[in-house]
Amino acid sequence: MILEPWAVECVGTIALISYWQVRERGVLDSPISGRWCGAVLGNDAVLVARALSKAKTDARCLLLDPTSADLKRAVTVFGRDRVRSVGGERSSLSRSLCLESPDGQRRWILTRSPAPKDDIGQLNADLVYVDYYPELSEYLNQQLVGMDERLRFMVNLSWLSASEEIPILAIRPVVVQASIGEATSIKEAAAYAAKLAEKTGAERAFVTLGARGAVLAVGDAAWHVGTKSRRVGRVMGAGAMFSTEVVIGLANGLDREELLESAVRNASLKVQAASPR
């Protein structure tokens, strides 16, 4: 529970995501076998806003280039006064298919790729959460540069490979978050988090490691906290669960190792509860 309600604006795209877990490690080519693990209304910004709303936060969604059906679905979930959109088109609900292999690799199949062009407009919140997906980074850099310096941003870079170039951001976030491959060691993840903070100018850089927890880098310091449950599995939206707990921890005055411990502990409990039995 948040001590004092924060106003949080979550910026990103929306789609109904079907989640399939592939049985063979490293294989995402046809033909493949796997199991359907349900569907969820995403993407991360939508999941974070929904979870924060349940935690009594003043959470709002700014949807980038949604369809008319997407917008209608979001209004049903959040209420008309909690959703606004940039651009869009009259069309059916956006859908995504996510295929995930046992080693964490994902392949996405999309019914459409949002391509926002209109101005985002004014942002006014205690924290602005932004999904900085690769396909949106150029647009977001153009839109967010020159924003009020008092705004605090949390940037979600989603999944990155350790060898992948870290994107350039037009803002200096208070938090940046990314996930990297499960084969990465804790030491390598800590070094990557420090590099992430340096390259993005973020005050805090989180790198999530699935069932092995997460690391946090702040300046020259870094910490790792692992999950305590062996039953923590892979679920769609696990990264959003972690992001939500980071926001709640910050709102409650937590920071550094205490913030990391709280986020890992609470997110792992939620992932465990949502894991397929």
**Main-chain dihedrals φ then ψ at residue 96, nearest 5 degrees:** -135, 145
- As a whole number, mean pLDDT of residues 110-136 equals 95
Q: How confident is the model at residue 274 (pLDDT cuts 50, 70, 90)?
A: confident
- As a whole number, mean pLDDT of residues 116-145 equals 95
Token pair recorded at residue 155: 């940037």
Give the number of other Cβ atoms within 10 Å of residue 135's Cβ: 11
**Main-chain dihedrals φ then ψ at residue 175, nearest 5 degrees:** -140, 135
Token pair recorded at residue 103: 């080693």
pLDDT at 240 over 70: yes
**Partners of 62 in the β-ladder:** 11, 84
CATH of domain 7-274: 3.40.1190.20
Q: What is the pLDDT of residues 33-54, one digit of tens each?
A: 888 888 999 999 999 999 999 9
Supply the pLDDT for residue 106. 81
Q: How confident is the model at residue 26 (pLDDT cuts 50, 70, 90)?
A: low
- As a whole number, mean pLDDT of residues 178-204 equals 92
CA pair distance 136, 92, nearest whole angstrom: 21
Cis bond upstream, residue 5 (ω within 30): no
3-state secondary structure 151-204: CCEEEEEEECCCCCCCCCCCCCCCEEEEECCCCCCHHHHHHHHHHHHHHHCCCE
- As a whole number, mean pLDDT of residues 15-29 equals 80
Supply the pLDDT for residue 34. 86
Looking at 101-115, 143-157, 190-204, which range is the least confident one? 101-115
pLDDT at 163 over 80: no
Q: What is the pLDDT of residues 64-89, one digit of tens each?
A: 999 999 999 999 999 999 999 999 99
- As a whole number, mean pLDDT of residues 109-125 equals 94
Contact 222, 206 (CB under 8 A): no
pLDDT at 198 over 60: yes
Cis bond upstream, residue 266 (ω within 30): no
Alpha helices (runs of H) in the chain, residue ranges in sequence order: 44-54, 68-78, 137-144, 186-200, 238-251, 256-274
End-to-end CA distance of the chain: 28
Supply the pLDDT for residue 137. 95
Listed by start position, the domains of the chain span 7-274
Contact 130, 48 (CB under 8 A): no
Looking at 31-35, 170-174, 240-244, which range is the least confident one? 31-35
Q: What mean pLDDT is reported for the chain?
A: 90
Cα separations in angstroms, 160 against 98, 142, 180, 193: 16, 22, 5, 12
Supply the pLDDT for residue 43. 96
